[in-house]
Structures are given as C-alpha cells and as structure tokens.
Structure 1
Amino acid sequence: MGILAIVSAVAGGSFGVFLNTKPFMQANLTPEEAKFFQRNSTFEGQFLQLNRPVNILVMGMSVLPPDTQNAPQDTKRLGYLPQVNSFDGLSDVMLLIRFDPKNKQLNMLSIPRDTRTEIEGYGLRKINAANNLAGAYLSAKSVSNLLGNVEIDGYIRINVLGVGKLVDALGGVTVNVPKDLKYQDDSQHLYINLKAGQQHLNGDQALQLLRFRNDGQGDIGRIQRQQMLIKALIEQSLNPATLARSPIILSTVKENIDTNLTLDSLLTLVNFGVKIDRSNIQMFTLPGRVSSRQEFAASYWLPNEEEIKVMMARYFDFGLKE
C-alpha cells in the first residue's frame, strides 16, 4: 500500500511535469508501423497493474554527426566527431525485456550489435544497422524475425547522452570494474580510463564502462559489462524512494528518449520492476558464435537458431514447448 501511495503521488507529479512539455515520442510511426506494436494498447491505461506479459525492445543509441542529417551546425567546426542527441544512428545496445506478471519474472535478452540477420528490404546485415536504415520499427521487426516472429509490444530508444544524465540523476552507480580499462580515440574525443575494483561511477564514467570494447572480446565483452551495469542500476534504483524522484529524473532525460509507450505504461512497467524479487531477474545473451575470418571479411555474431528456439520457449514462453 505504501508503494502504491508513493507511485500514485509520483504519477500526479509526472503528469504535471509532462502535461505541457514535449512528449517522449520523438519520431512518428506510420499507421503500418504502429500496427506492428498494436498489442501495446492492451496494457495502456492499466496504470500500476500489469495484467499480461509484455515484451519491450530497449536500444541504446550512439550517434555521430555523419549518422544524421540533423546534426547541429557547430559540430562541423569542432575538428572531431562528438556524440549528438539523435536517434538516427546505429543501435549500440539492443535488449529485449520480458515483463512477466504471471511468473513474476523479468527476463532480459542482450542481442549483440554485430548479429548477422535478415533485415527486411536490405538483405543480410548486422542487426544494429536496422535503426540507421529505417528507424525503430525496422529494428523491432528485425529482432522479432530473428527470434521466430515473437511479438514486441513497444520500444524505447535512449541516446548515449541520456544514459550519462540518467546515471547522474540516479546519484551514480556502484560497480566492480572487472579490470583496468584504458582506451583513447581522439577522432571522437573518447577517453576511457577506469581502474579495476569496486567504485562509484558518475554518468561519464558509466559511459566509459559501457563503451569500452578494446579487450579482445569485442561486443561480447561489452555486453557482459552492460549486463553488470544494468544489474547494479536495478539493485540501487528500483525502490520506492527512486520512484518518488521519478518526475525529476524523467524531466532530465526526456529529450534523450524516444518511445511509443505512454507515461502511464512506463510507470506501470517500472512499478512491476520495483515489486519483483531480485532473484527473479535474469539476463541472457543471444546464443551464437563469432564468425571466423575464413567465413566473412567482416566480424559477425552468428546466431544459433536451434538454441534460440529453446531459449525463447523457456524464458519468453514462445514457440517450442519443452
């Protein structure tokens, strides 16, 4: 009852914040694209009460000026390529999250950005290119096809600039950095310098942890660090105290988020996360393997279709039945 009272108060504050401001959705879907997510309407308006399983695709966007036609003019005079607040580029992070009220579980599937798959209308590509080619809808469609046509109810895209602001708004995050991480890319002004061990990271340092991939493990190593950071954020942030601050947190990052979910749907999903037992939160990586140089000139993550079918049946209640 205490949680419900806090969240209800938060809802009132949140609607007050967003009533006369820019909504979360930054990119409009065509009627045909909106139909792909039409099941979303069955849980809209069920504020605080998730009455069926929901699959949400979350994408982290790292966008440089050449990736978009809408980059600020001043970025062309900097002499390097800065991150810009846009949703037009490659999706560096792809995470399919299943909110399951029946089994009281939260299952998260990381999809490597280099996954080789069919992108409708464009042939076999790395899956992170789908967003750059045709936006959130094509990304969701490609993920759905990859996973045997599983239904996806909604999407959330967050720009990398918003991730840093979100971590700062949450007061930082404590993680155990697995090893020294050091990398320098002057062309992007990307400077990573983190020491091994447990430490409290601010937004910029959390981004360094998320973006590092120069350790021989490539995207898989980065996914492991992404999952570690997400777990830490869940442990530290999904609580009534954080919910009470959600209007401030949301207002901080709203310009860096694009989603087809309504505010009440978002808060309903967050409320589900607050109440779930942490032992019922599981994280997985898409089954597959790294391609060899003899197979392809480029490096790919090659999905294992049979293992994917088993995983989807076990953790997403979809397809095969064991």
Structure 2
Amino acid sequence: MKDPNQPSIQPTPIHSVLKKLPSQKRFRWLWFLFGLVGVAMVSATAGALFAVTLSSTPLMQRKLSPAEAAVFSKGDRISSSASLQLPELTRPVNVLVLGVKVLTTDVSDPPANANKLGYHALVNSFDGLTDTMLLLRFNPVDKKLVVLSIPRDTRVQIPGFRVAKINEANVDGGPALVARTSSELLGGVGIDRYVTINVQGVQALVEALGGVSVYVPKDMKYQDDSQHLYINLKAGRQHLKGDQVLQLLRFRYDEYGDIGRIQRQQMVMRAMMEQSLNPATVTRLPKILSVIQTHIDTNLSVEELVALVGYATQIDRSNVQMLVVPGDFSEPGQYDASYWLPNQGKIETMMAQYFGRGSGTSRDSNSPFPQNFDSR
C-alpha cells in the first residue's frame, strides 16, 4: 500500500509543502546565484571588474571534450553587448544548475591526507552525486523565468549506462551526461549551459556572507560517525553559520524524503540571496568572489552570466513559475531502492506549456545530441 502521508506532485506551480512560505518571499531564492554577481557589479566601481565582464572565456574548472561541449547548444551565443551597455539575452536560454556533495570515497584521487582521517570527508570536487538539480528557463520573448526542480531520486535510463537515480549521471559522465539524461527525461528539451556548485562552496559562501538567517522547520538530530556528520538543530528562526547550513541541507530523515530536501534547499538559497543584498555585504565582496572562483564550475562566460543577472533582476515575480518534475514515490518493495517515478504524460504536458513543447532553445530536432556522443 502506498503511504498516505507521501505527497503527490502535480505539474502546477509547486508542491503543497512550499505553499506555507509567505507569497512575497516565495521566489526570492531564485536570485541567490545571480544576486552574488549582481552585488559584485553594483558595489565595485566598474574598472577592472567590468573589463572582466566583457570576457567571453567560460568560467570552467572541468574540461569538456568536443562531443560533450556540443551537448550544450554547440556553443551558440546567448547574449550580446553594445558599446557602453550591459550584455543582454538574445534568445530563450535553459541553464542546468547542479549541487554536488563529494566524499573521499567518491573520487579515485582523494587528498593525500584523506587516509589518515579515519572517516569519509568532504572533498572540494565537482564529480559526485548531484543532491540538487534545477533547470532554469530564461525567456526574453515572454519576459518569464521558469524553474524546474528535478528530484535527485528520479528513476531514469542513464544513456550508455543503466537504469538508476538521476543523481548518478554526474558520476558516470559529468555535466554533459547529466544534461543528456535530463533532456531525455524531459522530452528532448535543449540545455544551453550548466552551473555546478559543491557543498563546500555553499558553506564557504555562507561564511563569506557572515552567516544567514533561516527558519528551521523542526528539531533535527542525526549522527553519522563514518562521515563525521553531526546534525543538531533546533526548530525556529535563527542565524546559522556555514557548518550549520550544511546540517540543514544534508538532513534527510523526514516524511517528504527527496521533496523535503528540495524545500530546504530553496529555503537556504533564499536566505543567501537576502543576505547577499545586505549593504554590509560589500565589505565581504573579495572573499565572496574568491569562493565563486574556487567552488563553482560553469560553461557560462562572464558576459553571459551578467546577461542572466540583468534579466533575472528585471523580471516581475508574477512571471516566475516554480515547478517540480511530476511523478510519485515508489511503493515500499517495488524496486531495489526508493525512487521518484516520473509521470511521462504529465511531463509532456508541462514541457509543452513551459518549455516550448520540448523543443528547447536553439534546436528543434527530436534529439539535441550528436550521433557520436560518448559520455565515457
């Protein structure tokens, strides 16, 4: 029997657990990533930063093969800038945002001192399981922003590998394979760019911001000696340090499972955005930019990122749509693991309504991937 306490997600504005959030604050977290860049642009006095802004070099920390790079719209331009003007989007853009947690056991070459620690420590890497997956669609044609959350436990066929949870695709083949898997799940939608951030980056950003104020929904207590993971948070609104924010993000023992994690991720992102727009944050700008440089991997150029920032800050909140991949929890014993089972019929309807009938952005073919693509 299906647990009656488990919620069912519909392809409508967002799961009911998010309706508890005040409507005027519900969408603020969307500016978390872009808000940081916006602070840099507004607070710095132009000069060197603006010169970097016009650079077209991607902010990549991982190398993509030609076939992998071709997955992301074959490098098509998404922005342009005129003299003395900030860059602007020139077409609809789909950006895949990935949040990863990497342990020493997840990588083949852990830090030299890892074996001496005696536990599975976090590693500053982008090669692990994706705990967070968002597909953002920026559409300058209709002046809208769509944010689609993809539950990490979604059961999919990873091309060239096996049927598994979608969060394993990054381990198998990096952002290109995640993009390909996500596209096939979502009816062939094109994915233009990706952004990956690891949990150490989130912790470092929180510390650089001086902590964030978050409402912890309930008492959270958990201990895992194998990872040195010790969670001990009390319910209520409080100012959390970086390590406490990670406790909130890594807690997973509640009745909502993967959907509960999505809700907490959104809470933290919203809090980080609010803190980043605090005037006092200007004095912390050098440290914030250093964190972005060392803990974020993306094939966006700085010019493209600035164009996305400008677009996001001008959108009316009534034109922001938050979605979750429609589906339901698997029943106990149905599979060898607990999955989020996508509803393909509802996905097709959702993609037609919000993502241009699954045609993506720059490509309208049924398969946006080159025939010789090999994720391995």
Contact 1:165 1:253 in 2 (8 A): no
Q: How many residues align?
A: 316
Q: Which has the higher contact order (CA 8 A, sep 6+)?
A: 2
SS for the counterpart of 2:263 is helix
**Range 191-200 or range 164-173, more displaced:** 164-173
Residues 149-207 of structure 1 show CA distances to partners (whole Å, capped at 9, x for unaligned) of 10101111111101111222234322221111111111111111221112222222222
SS for the counterpart of 1:103 is coil
CA distance in 2, matches of 1:265, 1:245: 24
CA drift of 1:5 comes to: 8.0
CA distance in 1, matches of 2:137, 2:159: 24
Within the candidate set 26, 33, 36, 2:68 is matched to: 33
Contact 2:41 2:49 in 1 (8 A): no
CA distance in 1, matches of 2:308, 2:53: 19
Contact 1:10 1:246 in 2 (8 A): no
TM-score by length of 2: 0.76
**Which residue does 1:291 correspond to in 2?**
330
Within the candidate set 97, 116, 123, 1:58 is matched to: 97
2:49 is the counterpart of 1:13: yes
- Counterpart AA for 2:66: P
CA distance in 1, matches of 2:235, 2:80: 45
Identity %: 53
SS for the counterpart of 2:68 is helix
Contact 1:6 1:243 in 2 (8 A): no
Pairs within 5 Å for 1:1-322: 6=42, 9-10=45-46, 12-13=48-49, 24-38=59-73, 40-46=75-81, 47-237=86-276, 248-319=287-358
TM-score by length of 1: 0.88
SS for the counterpart of 1:94 is strand
SS for the counterpart of 2:87 is coil
CA drift of 1:318 comes to: 2.9
SS for the counterpart of 2:311 is helix
- Counterpart AA for 1:186: D
Contact 1:99 1:107 in 2 (8 A): yes
- Counterpart AA for 1:155: Y
Q: 1:171 to 1:273 in 2, by over 3 A?
A: farther
Contact 1:162 1:253 in 2 (8 A): yes
CA distance in 2, matches of 1:254, 1:260: 13
Contact 2:41 2:50 in 1 (8 A): no
Contact 1:17 1:251 in 2 (8 A): no
SS for the counterpart of 2:310 is helix
- Counterpart AA for 1:57: L
**Range 48-57 or range 72-81, more displaced:** 48-57
Contact 1:289 1:302 in 2 (8 A): yes
- Counterpart AA for 1:199: Q
SS for the counterpart of 1:82 is coil
**Range 38-47 or range 212-221, more displaced:** 38-47
CA distance in 1, matches of 2:256, 2:311: 34
RMSD, aligned α-carbons: 2.9
